């Protein structure tokens, strides 16, 4: 089938990409600014013989994912920051029970009810604080609508491959912007589903999907087994983009998602004026691209983290740089979006202080 | 000598020993569910959802596929399973009173209201057993628990919740009944309720509440617990079939195509211009 | 003769079967089982009517009851 470019809104493109990735089950609860995802699903899924169900809460939605994931189908939900926080308990159960699913978080301003404007205040929530216990989620952060589309298929594959929920972390901007997109051919990969709870096959062992292991020795073994998977993820699933880094620029901006796009525009302007600046853009927020960033530490004089938050991902940059170079931060929060001009000014000011 | 089986442990129960306290009726309820599954021949098509509470380990005892739910969320997990698997499957949840009527109130009401084709088995023993005998949403007025040491004060924390009656206000449920496990006769009756619920499951939401004992939490001997249940719980939680085929639900709101408010609603009827 | 099989290791000595038996054929044994309970035992089994109420009330599923089929007289 010939690939067709279509102009689509980020949220709707995410929904369509999920359906094309074989996700025919969606459970969710309305919350701004991601409502176009459930709305699109409610129209489209019945057309493909799928199930759209509006849950009574985010708490119920994540537990419906738990059931559908346990039954062995591709299933997703989408929400926004406070709604995702409500899902954290169920998500932890899904890690413990090794149940695949995709959770889309279109971040909004916080804390609390905050506002409904774009934000990146959930980096810590998704990479550190999403649910209780020893666990991780692969967190993919798209920077363009096309990347979000490509990521949906990847997210479902990763969820199935590792039998672990996978998070796609966007912000209100990527959700609302319209861009031309091409949908990739469906993945050919198939995954073992013999573990799913679909009814005990005669003569076979039954499947019990659970996260309860009352014997501490057994639970420790179980968690160690999970962490064998996380170790593989950390080896294989680090993703990043190094942009304008070939000439070993002294100043490197670290940014992800929409902020990275704005940073690119700023870097173009700065370079036009003769400032050598590069961008390190994590695509996987977890596993953080430690190895990729490490290769640039020596050649860089200053790292500047820019986020739509008070500085969350920058802590991961500091962890990798480990005091060898200065790591500074500048950001806007509360739903305020950094402008190109602001970033240009910030870089110039900090470069001047460096003696550049 | 020829003989016939008058009573035998069903093969749908595993060989594991129950972890429940002596005289606890969870074992009876487990066995009844297992017997119904065996009689219907649906062991290979049944998926159970276990709760949090004393029966958290239900999957150790019922030999069917199982998914463990977070506290109170079993109806949501069962919804996810039900909406995913082929229609010939049977999906049930097994939940206690704290799980279902307190933390899981939203999930049970909405699963019932959607008419999820599942069977919910509700074990009501008026107390939190696993955590050590605290007050439950179904604890009787004046009943002493470890968190209502002077007896449940209804002025402070309200009256016990009658789940069957609450669910009976909804349109969708197809079967709602309350039974008791307090005597052999009532146990046999309870099994009939469970069988009815499973038989009707594919037509809609089915709910069986079973009045149960917690000798440890109540501080009574097993036989005194049965007597206490019949004397105190039954008057407050009457044993009735609230909903079954032929017993009409409250009148449903009629479906009005005219209620579509959006211009772009699919197949919206174009109203003829008048005046 | 009717027969009652008791899985003594399952029994937790709750005694509910003792009350359920109309003929009072069940008592707690003086022995201890693996879990430290005095399991029930049956006496005067020839009196048993195989009503199976003991099995119905037993929360542990530790009882099985078999009823003798009397050969029909006169073929």
Preceding peptide of B168 cis, ω within 30°:
no
CB A88 within 8 A of CB A130: yes
Per-residue pLDDT of chain A (356 residues; tens, 9 = 90+): 457 899 999 999 999 999 999 999 999 999 999 999 999 999 999 999 999 999 999 999 999 999 999 999 999 999 999 999 999 999 999 999 999 999 999 999 999 999 999 999 999 999 999 999 999 999 999 999 999 999 999 999 999 999 999 999 999 999 999 999 999 988 889 999 999 999 998 888 899 999 999 999 999 999 999 999 999 999 999 999 999 999 999 999 999 999 999 999 999 999 999 999 999 999 999 999 999 999 999 999 999 999 999 999 999 999 999 999 999 999 999 999 999 999 999 999 999 998 75
d(C-alpha B83, C-alpha A24), whole Å: 11
Residues A113 and A250 grouped into a single domain: no
Question: What whole-number distance in Å separates Cα of residue C56 and Cα of residue B187?
Answer: 7
Q: Residue B256 — very low, low, confident or very high, per pLDDT cuts 50/70/90?
A: confident
Residue B255 DSSP code: P
Who wins on pLDDT, A136 or C71?
Answer: A136
Q: Which of A61, A199, A211 sits opposite B44 (nearest CB)?
A: A199
What is the DSSP-derived secondary structure letter of residue A45?
G
d(CA B67, CA A206): 11
Instruction: Look over chain B and give the mean of its residue pLDDT values, rounded to a whole number.
Output: 94
Task: Find, in chain B, the residue whose alpha carbon is nearest to that of C64.
Answer: B8
Substitution target from C3, C42, C61, C68 for chain B, most B beta carbons within 10 A:
C61
Residue B28 has pLDDT above 50, yes or no: yes
pLDDT tens digit string along A162-190? 999 999 999 999 999 999 999 998 888 99
CATH at residue A267: 3.40.50.920
Contact C14/B7, CB-based, under 8 Å? no
Residue B52 predicted with pLDDT over 90: yes
| Chain mean position to CA A96 | 20
Is the CB of C55 less than 8 angstroms away from the CB of B6?
A: yes
| A173 within domain boundaries | yes
Q: pLDDT tens digit string along A125-153?
A: 999 999 999 999 999 999 999 999 999 99
Q: Are B155 and B135 in contact (CB under 8 A)?
A: no
May I ask the CATH class of domain C3-66?
Answer: alpha beta
Query: Does pLDDT of B252 surpass 90?
Result: no
* Two structure tokens written together for A264: 């690119």
Q: What is the pLDDT of residue B250?
A: 80
Q: What pLDDT, on the 0 to 100 scale, is given for residue B249?
A: 81
Angle, CA of A177, A178 and A184, to the nearest 5°: 115
Of B65, B73, B85, the CB nearest to A63: B73
- Picking from A277, A257, A256, the residue whose alpha carbon sits closest to that of residue A344 is A277
**Is pLDDT above 70 for B80?**
yes
For chain A, which residues lie within 8 Å of any Cβ of chain B, measuring from their own Cβ?
A: 25, 27, 43, 51, 53, 55-57, 59-61, 63-73, 75, 89-90, 93, 97, 197-202, 206-212
Domain B26-259 of CATH type 3.40.50.970: yes
Among residues of chain B, what percentage have pLDDT more than 90? 89
In chain C, whose CA is at the least distance from the CA of B11? Answer: C61
Judge if A174 and A262 occupy the same domain. no
CA distance C41 to chain B (A): 17
CB contact under 8 A, B83 and A202: no
Report the residue of chain C nearest B24, measured CA to CA.
C59
Asked if B73's CB is within 8 angstroms of A66's CB, the reply is yes
Alpha carbon distance A301, A290 (integer Å): 18
Q: How far apart are CA A104 and CA A184, in angstroms?
A: 19
**Has residue A202 been placed in a domain?**
no
Residues in chain C: 75
Q: Which residues of chain A make contact with B49, given a CB cutoff of 8 A? A: 67
Helical axes A10-20 vs A36-44, angle rounded to 10°: 40
Contact across the interface for A55 and B73, Cβ inside 8 Å: no
List, for residues B101-155, the tens digit of each pLDDT value. Answer: 999 999 999 999 999 999 999 999 999 999 999 999 999 999 999 999 999 999 9
Which residue of A55, A72, A75 is in closest CB contact with B76?
A: A55
Closest among B212, B223, B261 to B98, alpha carbons compared: B212
Q: Which domain holds residue A140?
A: 5-187+211-236
Q: Return d(Cα B143, Cα B124) in angstroms, integer.
A: 14
Whether residue A270 is contained in a domain is answered as yes
Residue B262 has pLDDT above 60, yes or no: yes
What CATH number should be reported for the domain holding residue A36? 3.40.50.970
| pLDDT on residue A203 | 81
Q: How confident is the model at residue C71 (pLDDT cuts 50, 70, 90)?
A: confident
The ipTM of this complex is: 0.94
Query: Between B2, B7, B222, which is nearest C16 by CB?
Result: B222
User: What is the DSSP code (8-state) at residue A53?
Assistant: E
pLDDT category at B264 given cuts 50, 70, 90 is low
Q: What is the pLDDT of residue B261?
A: 67
Q: Are residues A262 and A219 in the same domain?
A: no
> Residue B266's pLDDT is what?
53
Q: Distance from C70 to chain B by nearest Cα, in Å?
A: 8
Task: Give the per-residue pLDDT at B269.
Answer: 47
Burial of B224 (0-12, 13-18, 19+ CB in 10 A): middle
> What pLDDT score was predicted for residue B270?
47
Residue A187's pLDDT is: 81
Q: Give the pLDDT band of residue B275 (cuts 50, 70, 90).
A: very low
Counting as contact any 3 or more CB pairs under 8 A, the partners of B are A, C
The residue count of chain A comes to 356
Q: What is the pLDDT of residue B191?
A: 98
CB A320 within 8 A of CB A293: yes
Q: Can you give the pLDDT at residue B253?
A: 73
- Cα-based angle B176, B25, B22 (whole degrees, multiple of 5): 170
Q: Average of pLDDT values for B185-210?
A: 98
Residues pairing with A54 in the sheet: A28
pLDDT tens, position by position, C15-37: 999 999 999 999 999 999 999 99
Which of the four pLDDT bands, split at 50, 70 and 90, describes residue C74?
low
Put simply, the answer to whether C64 touches B223 (Cβ < 8 Å) is no
Q: What is the pLDDT of residue B248?
A: 79
List subunits contacting chain A, requiring 3 or more Cβ pairs under 8 Å.
B
Residue A237 has what DSSP assignment? -
- Give me the pLDDT at residue B119, please: 98
Domain boundaries, chain C: 3-66
Q: How many domains would you assign to chain A?
A: 2
Residues in B lying within 8 Å of C, measured between beta carbons: 1-9, 13, 17-18, 20-28, 31, 183-184, 187-188, 215, 221-223, 226
In angstroms, the CA A106 to CA A110 distance is 13
In the prediction, which pLDDT does C53 show?
97
Closest CB to B44: pick one of A25, A55, A201. Answer: A201
Per domain, the residue ranges of chain B are 26-259
**Alpha-carbon gap: B275 to the closest alpha carbon of chain A (Å):** 34
Calculate the alpha carbon distances from A139 to A80, A103, A157, A158 in Å.
15, 9, 13, 10
How many separate helices (H) and strands (E) can be counted in chain B? 10, 8
């Amino acid at each position: 089938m010939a690939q067709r470019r279509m102009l689509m809104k980020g949220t709707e493109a995410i929904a369509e990409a999920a359906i094309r990735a074989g996700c025919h089950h969606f459970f969710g609860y309305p919350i701004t600014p991601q409502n176009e995802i459930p709305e699109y699903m409610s129209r489209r899924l019945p057309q493909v013989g799928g199930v759209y169900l509006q849950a009574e809460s985010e708490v119920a939605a994540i537990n419906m994912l738990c059931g559908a994931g346990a039954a062995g189908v591709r299933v997703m939900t989408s929400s926004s920051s406070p709604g995702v926080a409500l899902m954290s308990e169920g998500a932890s159960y899904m890690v413990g029970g090794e149940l695949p699913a995709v959770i889309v978080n279109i971040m909004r301003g916080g804390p609390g009810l905050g506002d409904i404007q774009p934000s990146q205040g959930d980096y810590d929530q998704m990479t550190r604080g999403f649910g209780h216990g020893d666990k991780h989620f692969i967190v993919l952060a798209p920077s363009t609508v096309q990347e979000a589309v490509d990521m949906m298929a990847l997210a479902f594959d990763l969820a199935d491959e590792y039998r672990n929920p996978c998070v796609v972390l966007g912000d209100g901007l990527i959700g609302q912007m319209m861009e031309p997109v091409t949908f990739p051919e469906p993945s050919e990969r198939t995954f073992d589903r013999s573990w799913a709870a679909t009814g005990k096959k005669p003569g076979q062992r039954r499947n019990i999907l659970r996260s309860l292991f009352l014997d501490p020795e057994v639970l420790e073994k179980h968690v160690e087994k999970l962490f064998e998977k996380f170790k593989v993820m950390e080896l294989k699933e680090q993703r990043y983009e190094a942009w304008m880094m070939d000439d070993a620029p002294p100043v490197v901006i670290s940014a992800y998602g929409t902020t990275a796009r704005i940073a690119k525009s700023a870097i173009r302007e700065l370079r036009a004026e003769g400032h050598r600046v590069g961008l390190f853009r994590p695509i996987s927020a977890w596993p953080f691209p430690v190895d990729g960033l490490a290769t640039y530490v020596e050649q860089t004089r200053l790292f500047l983290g820019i986020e739509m938050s008070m500085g969350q991902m920058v802590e991961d940059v500091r962890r990798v740089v480990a005091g060898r170079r200065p790591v500074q931060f500048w950001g806007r929060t509360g739903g305020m979006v950094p402008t190109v001009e602001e970033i240009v000014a910030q870089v110039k000011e900090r470069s001047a202080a460096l003696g550049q | 000598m020829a003989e016939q089986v008058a009573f035998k442990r069903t093969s749908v129960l595993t060989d594991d020993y129950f972890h429940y306290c002596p005289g606890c009726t969870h074992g009876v309820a487990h066995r009844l569910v297992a017997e119904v599954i065996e009689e219907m021949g649906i062991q290979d098509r049944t998926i159970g959802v276990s709760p949090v509470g004393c029966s958290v380990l239900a999957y150790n005892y019922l030999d069917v596929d199982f998914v463990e739910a977070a506290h109170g969320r079993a109806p949501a997990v069962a919804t996810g399973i039900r909406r995913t698997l082929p229609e010939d499957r049977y999906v049930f949840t097994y939940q206690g009173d704290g799980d279902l009527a307190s933390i899981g109130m939203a999930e049970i009401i909405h699963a019932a209201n959607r008419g999820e084709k599942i069977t919910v088995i509700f074990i009501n023993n008026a107390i939190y057993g696993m955590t050590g005998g605290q007050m439950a949403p179904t604890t009787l007025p004046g009943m002493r628990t470890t968190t209502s040491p002077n007896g449940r004060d209804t002025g402070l924390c309200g009256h016990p919740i009658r789940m069957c009656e609450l669910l009976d206000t909804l349109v969708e449920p197809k079967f709602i009944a309350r039974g008791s496990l307090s005597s052999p006769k009532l146990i046999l009756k309870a099994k009939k309720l469970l069988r009815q619920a499973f038989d009707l499951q594919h037509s809609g939401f089915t709910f069986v509440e079973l009045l149960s004992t917690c000798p440890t939490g109540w501080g009574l001997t097993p036989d005194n617990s049965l007597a206490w249940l019949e004397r105190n719980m039954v008057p407050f939680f009457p044993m009735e079939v609230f909903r079954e085929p032929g017993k009409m639900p409250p009148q449903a709101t009629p479906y009005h195509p005219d209620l579509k408010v959006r211009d772009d609603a699919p197949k919206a009827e174009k109203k003829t211009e008048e005046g | 003769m009717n027969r009652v099989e008791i899985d003594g290791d399952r029994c937790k000595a709750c005694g509910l079967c003792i009350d359920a038996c109309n003929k009072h054929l069940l008592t707690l044994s003086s022995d201890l089982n693996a879990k430290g309970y005095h399991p029930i035992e049956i006496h005067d089994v020839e009196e048993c009517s195989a009503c199976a109420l003991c099995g119905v009330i037993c929360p542990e599923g530790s009882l099985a009851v078999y009823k003798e089929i009397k050969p029909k007289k006169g073929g």
